[in-house]
Amino acid sequence: MQHVLHGRSLVLIGLMGAGKTTVGRRLAQRLDLPFADADHEIEQAAGKTIPEIFEDYGEQHFRDGERRVIARLLESGQQVIATGGGAYMNEHTRQKISDEAVSIWLRADFDLLMKRVRRRSHRPLLQTADPEAVMRNLIDERYPVYAKADLVVDSRDVPHSVIVKDVIAALLNFESASR
């Protein structure tokens, strides 16, 4: 199955709550590749959690770290990389992903994203009086850009293993289309 990638990494993109980390980890197991979660790597590099980075240094500082960490991951051998929701919005990151990896957008609708993110409160962008409005804006702003990914898989309210299967099917199609 890995031959489909021709040695390239697989990068998962999509909004908060789309399932990038969970699906990415399982996908890595299936493909027998290492897994990296970019948000986690940023936290390790900073020695702080993402809310602390936002709080202490501001969002721009986080974005700079995010760009550097993803560039480093893309140069660290073949792996499955789950990115934070804003990463692909950076033009340099997008270009590097397009040059060096296969990108998959885990697309999810508003209701599913809200259902998932409501359960946890570690996301600074949603710590506002109206997280639903923020999420709607992010969908409007980001989905046209996420659509540039190599592949799109619809994340649905089903077990993650189903989505993993869909990703693998999409990868196989991608391979036959590019042959």
Residue of 48, 68, 110, 124 interacting with ligand S3P (CB under 6 A):
124
Question: Given phi > 0 = left and psi -120 to 50 = alpha, else beta, which region is 152?
Answer: beta
Task: Closer to ligand S3P by CB, 80 or 84: give it.
Answer: 84
86 binds ligand S3P per the rule CB under 6 A: yes
- List the strands of the sheet with 80-82, edge to edge: 35-37, 80-82, 9-13, 101-107, 151-154
Radius of gyration, CA atoms only, the chain: 16
Task: Closer to ligand S3P by CB, 6 or 148: give it.
Answer: 148
CB of 172 to ligand S3P, least distance (A): 26
CA 33 to chain centre: 17
Residue of 80, 123, 150, 153 interacting with ligand S3P (CB under 6 A):
123
149 binds ligand S3P per the rule CB under 6 A: no
Residue of 69, 125, 149, 163 interacting with ligand S3P (CB under 6 A):
125
Binding piece for ligand S3P, criterion CB under 6 A, among 1-9, 97-105, 118-126, 158-166 = 118-126
CB of 5 to ligand S3P, least distance (A): 22
- For residues 8 to 37, the per-residue mask of contacts with ligand S3P, x marking binding by CB under 6 A and - elsewhere, is --------x---x-----------------
CA 150 to chain centre: 13
User: Binding residues for ligand S3P, per CB under 6 A?
Assistant: 16, 20, 39, 50, 84-86, 123-125
